[in-house]
């Protein structure tokens, strides 16, 4: 199942995947974020793009 949600990096859990709906390319979370990025600005899942579109969270 693919979810079109915008989550911050620290909300992603080990093993979750971001998937490209067009080509099937996948990114897998191998280490969870500890929120040290909050001062600089944390990344969000909609910032990861493939085939010119945001990748989606697959669970």
Instruction: Please report the sign of the dihedral spanned by the C-alpha atoms of residue 37, residue 48, residue 45, residue 32.
Output: negative
pLDDT digits (tens, 9 = 90+) for 15-56: 999 999 999 999 999 999 887 777 777 888 888 899 999 898
Average pLDDT over residues 6-10: 83
Strand-pairing partners, residue 19, are 26, 56
What per-residue confidence (pLDDT) applies to 49? 93
Rounded to an integer, what is the distance from CA 29 to the centroid of its chain?
8
> How much is the pLDDT for 8?
85
Bridge partners (DSSP) listed for residue 53: 50
Q: Tens digits of per-residue pLDDT, 21-32? A: 999 999 999 999
Q: Which of 16, 20, 19, 47 is nearest to 29 (CA)?
A: 16
């Amino acid at each position: 199942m693919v979810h079109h949600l915008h989550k911050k990096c620290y909300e992603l859990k080990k093993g979750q995947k971001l998937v490209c709906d067009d080509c099937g390319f996948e990114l897998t979370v191998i280490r969870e974020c500890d929120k040290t990025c909050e001062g600089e600005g944390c990344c969000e899942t909609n910032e990861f793009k493939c085939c010119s579109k945001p990748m989606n969270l697959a669970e």
